[in-house]
Amino acid sequence: MAITVYQYPKCSTCRTALKWLDKQGIAHDKVDIVTSPPSKAELEKVAKVVGVRRMFNTSGESYRNGNFKAKLETMSDADAIAALLHGDLAHVNLIPMNPVAHTPWTASPMPVIERFAATLRAAGVPTTIRRNRGQEIGAACGQLAAERAGEPAAPAVERRRELIVRASAAALRGERSHEPVPAGLGE
């Protein structure tokens, strides 16, 4: 299976990376990022793995001219996403998290989600917030499956929580996991 490499043909770093892939015998498909930019879904997928801040081209002219090296240290994720999407035809649909049993996460309060959306809108990025339905009766996405699966044993829940917290913290630091991908993910 070939990996997709979005590259700017005039970029020396891109050319170096492509030469390295060739030398290592790693199959890859080159895509000119200017003429065929990645879709919103592809960007979201990458952002989940590497984090929003690592998606900036730190060698690019817009990065230098926008003084993003200094700005990114204090930017919120909403501001960073707005900067990445500035001038693009994009629409962000924020989907609040539904609480799901046996996970360490809790949903952000609606005022936090609304502030995030307001930041994007103020930067000119059209943004909507999906309204959750069915949470109060356990019928929101993920809730029924967790309820139907039943409560696992306490040690299993604790191991799962620890793994999820470690993996999430590593992803936020921009680190890649070397753990095997669970069945059904990334396919």
Can you give the pTM of this predicted structure? 0.44
Residue 145 is encoded by which pair of tokens? 């499956």
In this structure, the number of other CB atoms found within 10 A of the CB of residue 107 comes to: 14
Which residue spans within the chain are E strands per DSSP?
A: 3-7, 28-32, 92-94, 127-129
**30, 35, 41, 47: CA torsion to nearest 10:** 70
What is the pLDDT tens value at each position of the chain, 187 positions in all?
788 888 888 888 888 888 988 988 888 899 988 788 777 778 777 777 777 767 777 777 777 777 777 887 788 877 877 777 766 667 888 877 776 666 667 778 889 989 988 988 888 888 888 877 666 655 555 555 555 565 555 666 677 777 777 777 777 666 766 666 555 544 4
